[in-house]
Structure formats: C-alpha cells, structure tokens
Amino acid sequence: MSYKHCSELGHKVRNHLIALGLEQPRDFANDSQAKINSIAASYKDILDTLGLKTQEFEQTPQRVARMFTQEIFNGLDYNNFPTCALYENEFPYSGKLTQKNINIMSTCEHHFVPFIGEAEVSFIPKDNNIIGLCRINSICDFFARRPQIQERMTAQIFETLKFILGSEDISVKIKAKHTCVSLRGANNKDTETYTEMLGGVFA
C-alpha cells in the first residue's frame, strides 16, 4: 500500500504504545543496506543448511532481505507511519462511522508465515476529529506490516486511533485466517480467528 508518511506522528504513536506495553523500545531503519546485507547472509545460511545451494536460489537471500525490510516488515519503522490529518466535523454528524473490508496482510511472529483477513473499524466523530477514511486503512496496514500476533495488532490499532482521535468511542474488529494453522499444525484451512476491542459507547 502506498501512502504519505509522517515520522513525527509516528514517533508520538510509538512512545504512546511503549507506555501501554504494546510496543518494544527499538529503532528500525528499513533502508539500511548493512541491515539488508546482514539479513541476506543469514538467510543464505538457512538455505545452505537445507541443502538449497543451486543456481535457482542464488538471488533468493537478497530478494528476501529486501522484501523483509522494504515491504512486508516496513511497519517496524515508525518513520513510515501514515500522515493522519484531522478535519472539522462541519455537518455536524454525530452517528457511528464504520469502515469495513479493510485488508489485513501480516506475518505470524511465531512461524513467519502469513495471516490474512479483514478489519472493521468504527468510531463516533468529535467536533474537530474527523479522520480521512483512507487513513484508517493505512493505519491498519502499517501495524500489519511486521511480524505480528493478531491480538496485539488489534490493540495497537485500537489504542492508536484513540490517541489520534482523542476519543474512547472506538471499535476495532479483525477476522483472519492464519497459515500457521492451515499449512502446519492442525492443517485446518477453514479456521478463522476473531479479535475485537471496544471502547466508549461501543463497550
């Protein structure tokens, strides 16, 4: 997903989540060539250990390293946090606003295989705290793009929206299929996992 970044807001969100115990106090520079080279070398060791030393795998370590740092794990870097401008509630509208069918594509931190699903986010607009609809999608995508567990991701999105909107009236629900369940373990391709956090009027 492509969106504009706001590192200042990102680090405010990061510090807020650290204080809540929902984030680790780490720094991650995803454009570091030294980091890409280090990951590639480590991944090559894995391939070599598996006996995958043929020409077909020659470029795989660099591809994986770039994919990790620049794509599927770029949510580790809060410099990539999306810009989230707030707008005045001019109408005014005091009802519930819900954004459904938000794509969630993340990676299980326990087995490093994907989990994919949908989020539903609701909130009650305040006087000067209307957020652009696409920013809700961007926030969900940001926290999905890292090694994750669904429960923490739900809490991170929930607390971030509370922080940005200055409101308790937030609802975040996520439904996902985890390939750590379907590809291994129980090998159950139909199992779905549901998580939700409700605040204010939604609770």
Model pTM score: 0.94
Question: Which residue is catalytic, options 24, 58, 110, 192?
Answer: 110
108 is catalytic: yes
The answer to whether residues 49 and 122 belong to one domain is: no
Question: Could you tell me if residue 25 is inside a domain?
Answer: no
The answer to whether residues 106 and 182 belong to one domain is: yes
134 is catalytic: no
The pLDDT, as a whole number, for residue 186 is 87
The answer to whether residues 119 and 41 belong to one domain is: no
Question: Which residue is catalytic, options 6, 150, 156, 159?
Answer: 150
Residue type, 110: H
Tokens of 8: 């200042």
The answer to whether residues 153 and 116 belong to one domain is: yes
The answer to whether residues 108 and 164 belong to one domain is: yes
156 is catalytic: no
The answer to whether residues 44 and 93 belong to one domain is: no
The answer to whether residues 164 and 136 belong to one domain is: yes
Can you give the pLDDT of all 203 residues of the chain as single tens digits? Answer: 445 789 999 999 999 999 999 999 877 766 688 999 999 999 999 999 999 999 999 999 999 999 999 999 999 999 999 999 888 877 778 899 999 999 999 999 999 999 999 999 999 988 767 888 999 999 999 999 999 999 999 999 999 999 999 999 999 999 999 999 999 988 998 999 999 999 999 99
Q: What's the sign of the alpha-carbon dihedral 29, 5, 83, 65?
A: negative
CATH number, residue 164 = 3.30.1130.10
151 is catalytic: no
Question: Could you tell me if residue 81 is inside a domain?
Answer: no
The answer to whether residues 198 and 119 belong to one domain is: yes
Question: Could you tell me if residue 28 is inside a domain?
Answer: no
Question: Could you tell me if residue 94 is inside a domain?
Answer: yes
What is the domain range of residue 137?
86-202
84 is catalytic: no
Tokens of 189: 């391709």
- Rounded Cα distance, 89 and 131, in Å: 10
The answer to whether residues 91 and 114 belong to one domain is: yes
The answer to whether residues 123 and 61 belong to one domain is: no
Question: Could you tell me if residue 144 is inside a domain?
Answer: yes
Question: Could you tell me if residue 27 is inside a domain?
Answer: no
The answer to whether residues 47 and 124 belong to one domain is: no
Question: Which residue is catalytic, options 108, 140, 148, 159?
Answer: 108
The pLDDT, as a whole number, for residue 5 is 80
Find residue 116's DSSP bridge partners: 105, 177
70: left (phi over 0), alpha (psi -120 to 50) or beta: alpha
Tokens of 25: 């106090």
Question: Could you tell me if residue 8 is inside a domain?
Answer: no
* Boundary (domain end) residue, out of 20, 42, 72: 72
- Rounded Cα distance, 196 and 155, in Å: 8
Residue 5: CB atoms within 10 A of its CB come to 16
Q: How many domains does the chain have?
A: 2
The pLDDT, as a whole number, for residue 132 is 87
